[in-house]
Structure 1
């Protein structure tokens, strides 16, 4: 894992909206990754939704930007104990993609895949109802490569490893299939308010 310089910023007094075991990173946004940061050409990037859907679909960069867009305003929480507040993200709600492909009744889980091959698993219910986005801007600026740009999955109510960087595919499944960190001992859900960092938490 690569960690940016200055990761251990000065910790701030706890706040009431801070999950247990977390600290407020303030203006810092630490960079962590388990793999080499790729160079992606947005015009060659695609987003696919497949698996247990009626119409598997792949969108180009331009086609994604033509879909209805929405914002998320709020915090993100990393399993390494930092939280960042007051962020604004923009992109397309995962709901828009799911409505377009038609979710089959058997679908209960999603495996998110990045262009690097990284994967992470999530219950489908945690991607619906305005809880998740395919995002390409953060705080009004294009998402940088180090933070998953040009596009990453954003699931802000779960620990941030669930928000797969450089996302390119969502596969709907009947049964749960663990991703990279989950196979290596991280929790299958990752709820920061329940401190679900590792299997068994």
Structure 2
């Protein structure tokens, strides 16, 4: 698979062990879900919250929208710079939801039984976004339509595609790749690729 010609010049925005690509590679586990009708699609917020909430796609679009530009870094070694996303910040999503103080982690649940774990402070990070659009257009199915997380300060597997549920929990629960040897946290600047790194 060709990811674009690596640029050899040093760039302070690219973490150690990474190379820049101008393309947007497609990497995932399982099948790509295709939604022709979003009438039955929902996003659920549950776990350690005062009240379980379920939102339709349109309800998410009716929330305050935020545009963020960031760099993304895949654990396989590529980085793509200056990406423009649009979506909902966790702060805006949770504006009418009370999260219990005992919640220390967030589990992002997606289609194909995929999940990944985040400390709650990383989910609430100012650069984290629940994105529905990329570069001014709706996400493509391969890149997570209708909704994906974008957690740009961690390796990109933490940015779950095809998001369906956000669960708040008290203790760390490993997600799909974390159970299969990937690092529990995934800081690209520390090269936290695998659990033994």
* Fold equivalence (TM over 0.5): yes
Q: 1:186 aligns with which of 182, 194, 197?
A: 182
Q: Which residue of 2 aligns with 1:59?
A: 55
- Cα deviation code 1:28-85 (max 9, x no counterpart): 1111111111112333211111000112111001101111111110211110110101
SS of 1:99's partner is coil
- Pair 1:36 & 2:31 matched: yes
Superposition misfits of 4+ residues, deviation over 6 angstroms? none
Alignment of 1:24-173 (within 5 A): 24-26=20-22, 28-40=23-35, 41-173=37-169
In 1, Cα distance between the equivalents of 2:6 and 2:97?
44
Number of equivalent positions: 195
In 2, Cα distance between the equivalents of 1:101 and 1:55?
7
Report if aligned partners of 1:44, 1:61 keep a CA contact under 8 Å in 2. Answer: no
SS of 1:33's partner is coil
Gaps (5+ residues) in structure 2? none
Report if aligned partners of 1:111, 1:121 keep a CA contact under 8 Å in 2. Answer: yes
TM-score under structure 2 normalisation? 0.95
Report if aligned partners of 1:14, 1:23 keep a CA contact under 8 Å in 2. Answer: no
1:129–1:30 distance in 2 versus 1, CA, 3 Å: closer
Q: Which moved more, 1:44-53 or 1:177-186?
A: 44-53
SS of 1:126's partner is helix
How much does 1:132 deviate? 1.4
